[in-house]
Each structure stands twice: as structure tokens, then as C-alpha cells.
Structure 1
Amino acid sequence: MTFRPKFVTFDCYGTLTDFDMAGATRRIYGTLLDEARMAQLVRHFAAYRLDEVLGAWKPYAEVVANALERACRNNGVAFRPEDARRIYEEVPSWGPHPDVPAGLARVAEEIPLVILSNAMNSQIASNVAKLGAPVFKVLTAEDVGSYKPRMKGFEAMLDALGCGPEEVTHVSSSFRYDLMTAYDLGIRSKVWVNRGHEPANPFYEYREIRDISGLPAVFGL
């Protein structure tokens, strides 16, 4: 029998929104570095962003600035605070992956959609408005005082929804930010959107889809 959750919960950036941190970084440093060094800077910037969110909550502008400064230092690139601010301020302008609006809207006809995002409230509203589907509830790291992959945000989300982990399906393109934590918290129904960010890891017991156009079929829609 096809599982029909009370809510479908989502990561937003990367999974739904085309999270163009790599493009933003290239737009600033692309003329200064050859391709090999540019690719390494992008990888390090992503790794340091993950490291920055593992501690106590701080505004996402600080996460971006600290991570970029560390990545620049590691790669022998001059860091300027205004570059970090420019990247941070791009975030609300980013829209969804092309596959998102139609698939998301189809699911929303039958099941309420919820977003748990590592975002500031001032950022996320613009990104959610571009998704092309009604979202029942949005919770940000700013709301809950914690970033994923820490558990606090997931716990706050379940409390806000008044349901248990067995009653939701969580959808993400990231194991490290979302699906590992969801697994540890007992969210049995998980969907991995394989956008090429990370390799498959079947240990975490998920349904794999190529993009959001495949999500309605997960629920028999």
C-alpha cells in the first residue's frame, strides 16, 4: 500500500530552489582563478558552510562570511567582506529548479507541504513565492535557533505540526544536511532527490527520484 503522509516536508535550498552558491562565487572570483583553483574554492566554501552551521545559531550572513573567509584563506585568495555580503544578498533572487513547480503543485493538491530551511526569514519568503505551489508552513533556522543537520529544527517542525516522525515524508537532495538526521529521528518515509550533490547511500532507507517531477508518483498521485 502506498504511504500517504499527513505532511510532506522539504529542504528548500538545493532541493527546491536552485541554490546557486557556486555560481555566485564564480561571478566574483572567476576572473582571478583558473578552473582547477576555482572548483577547489567552491568545494571548500561549501564544506566550510556545513562546518559553520554545526555550532550555536548565528545569522546566515555570518555563516556565509565566515565560510567564505576560511575558504579564501585556504586557497590563497584575498577575502573582502563585501564579497560575502554580495553572495548572501543574491539568495532571495534565486528561483526553483525547472522541474519543481509542476510536480510540487500536484502534490500540494493532496498533501500539505512544509519547508524546513537553513534560512533567514528575510530570505526565504522570496524563494518560497517563486516555487509555484502553496506551502502550508515554513520554518527557518532563524525561527528555531538551530541549523540543519542538527536535530533541533526537525524536532521543532514535528512539534509545530503536531505529529510524529512516522507521519511525514521528508524530501531532500542532501544526506548530510537532512536525510541522515531524518533517519536518526525515526522519519521512516524519506525521498532523496538525486541532483548530483552527493553520492547515493542506501543505508538511510529512502526512495530515490531524479527530480520533483517524480514526487507525485511516490504518493500514487
Structure 2
Amino acid sequence: MATFRPKYITFDCYGTLINFQMAEAARDLYGNQLDEARMQKFIRNFAAYRLDEIMGAWKPYAEVVHNAVERSCKANGVDFREEDAKTVYERVPTWGPHADVPAGLAKVAKEIPLVILSNAMNSQIMSNVEKLGAPFHAVYTAEQAQAYKPRFRAFEYMLDMLGCGPEDILHCSSSFRYDLMSAHDLGIKNKVWVNRGHEPATPYYGYTEIADISGLPGVVGL
């Protein structure tokens, strides 16, 4: 892949570029009610319910978060408060990038157009993108696509908007379940897994592994 120069490098945003802090938000809200073992279970449930909530028809991300918090509370015997779910949702635009992101992106952006495909609302995403420290050719959201990743429709929307095919892009993500599995199934052969420790390595899906975005320029020969 070192010699492959894509038309676009496409990215997942939250978790891959932005320091995704849903677990920290849950801990801030419920850590005083749960011991560590139960807190870990709550965090696992919260992640699983967020994924489950996005698998059907598109709905606003505020509803995704609300429902996932409510279901996690029910599963763990915690009283649910609507204001807690609102607090979690409103934190999203305040999150900034992982420390390795701005310099790595800036180096690549000089040579290859960068694109984001994010499970975000239009009203959330630009506050986060502005913190990334590099110019983006395009930023596409689940709201625009009317579908969340890992649904194929989100990726197809991005490819249609870019006017290119799966063979023309390099897709970069820290998540197999949200991004790289679907990218594989759609014929996106050139993929980068940023190993943020979210998920175990899954070599079947065919990718180049990097520890962080500082390794990305080397993947495309920069």
C-alpha cells in the first residue's frame, strides 16, 4: 500500500481523530453510584446500545444518545434522568483531537484531499473538525446520508458525493464494527486501522495498521 496514492483519504471522525469520551461522560454521571466492576459493565452496555440504536432508520443523534443512556441505566439498575442524556449529547462538540492528529493530518493534507464520514449531526461536527488543525475537502454526516455507519448507505452516499469508486479511496478508522468491516464488504481495498485500543485486531478485513495518525503519511509514501 505504500505506493498507493488515493484520490481521497476518508476518515471516521470520533474515536479515530477526535478523542471520543463517551465512557468518561458516563463515569462522570454514574461513577458515584456504581463500583468499578459495575461501572465497567455500564460503559460496555452504553457502547453496545449506541451501536444498536443506529442500525435502523436514521434518527437524530440526540435520540441515539438518549435511548442508549436510558437502556444502559435500566440494565444496571440506575435511575435514568433525561438531563443526563442531554448532558452527554451536549459534550460532543467540545471534544478535541488526539494529540497525534493535527501534525499527521497537516502533512498528508498538503498532497491528498481529506474527507470525513461521521456518525454526527450537522450541528455537532464542525466544532470538532475546526479543532483538527488541517483543511478538509469535504465533511459528510449521517444526517446528510440519512444513515449511520456501519450501514452501507452512509458509505455509498460519500462515494456518490465524491464522484468516485471504492478503488479510489483510502479509508482510515479505529473501528472495525463501524467502518472497516463495511468498507471491506463494499470493496474498499485500501484501509488503515488506527489502533486506539478500542477493538482487537481482525486481519481478515485487510488493512495497514498504524498506532496513531503520525504513521499515516508513511502509508501513502509521504
Superposition TM-score, scaled by structure 2 size:
0.99
| Partners of 1:59 and 1:163 in 2: CA distance | 28
- Aligned partner letter, 1:77: V
| Partners of 1:32 and 1:106 in 2: CA distance | 45
Q: Aligned residue for 2:205?
A: 204
Q: Aligned residue for 1:89?
A: 90
Q: 1:18: how far off?
A: 0.3
| Partners of 1:38 and 1:11 in 2: CA distance | 27
Question: What are the equivalent positions in structure 2 for 1:46-195 lying under 5 Å apart?
Answer: 46-195=47-196
- Aligned partner letter, 2:113: P
Which whole-Å deviations, capped at 9, do the CAs of 1:6-52 have from their partners, x for residues lacking one? Answer: 00000000000001000111111111111111111011000000000
| Partners of 1:154 and 1:197 in 2: CA distance | 21
| Number of equivalences | 221
- Aligned partner letter, 2:127: S
- Aligned partner letter, 2:31: G
| Partners of 1:189 and 1:61 in 2: CA distance | 32
Q: 1:137: how far off?
A: 0.1
| Partners of 1:168 and 1:125 in 2: CA distance | 22
- Aligned partner letter, 2:211: R
| Partners of 1:183 and 1:44 in 2: CA distance | 26
- Aligned partner letter, 2:192: V
| Partners of 1:94 and 1:161 in 2: CA distance | 27
| Partners of 1:37 and 1:106 in 2: CA distance | 43
| Partners of 2:76 and 2:104 in 1: CA distance | 40
| Partners of 1:162 and 1:59 in 2: CA distance | 27
- Aligned partner letter, 1:203: Y
Q: Percent identity?
A: 71
- Aligned partner letter, 2:200: P
Which whole-Å deviations, capped at 9, do the CAs of 1:37-94 have from their partners, x for residues lacking one? Answer: 1111011000000000000000000000101111110111111110000000000000
Q: 1:165: how far off?
A: 0.2
| Partners of 1:59 and 1:131 in 2: CA distance | 24
- Secondary structure of the 1:142 match is helix
| Partners of 2:102 and 2:28 in 1: CA distance | 27
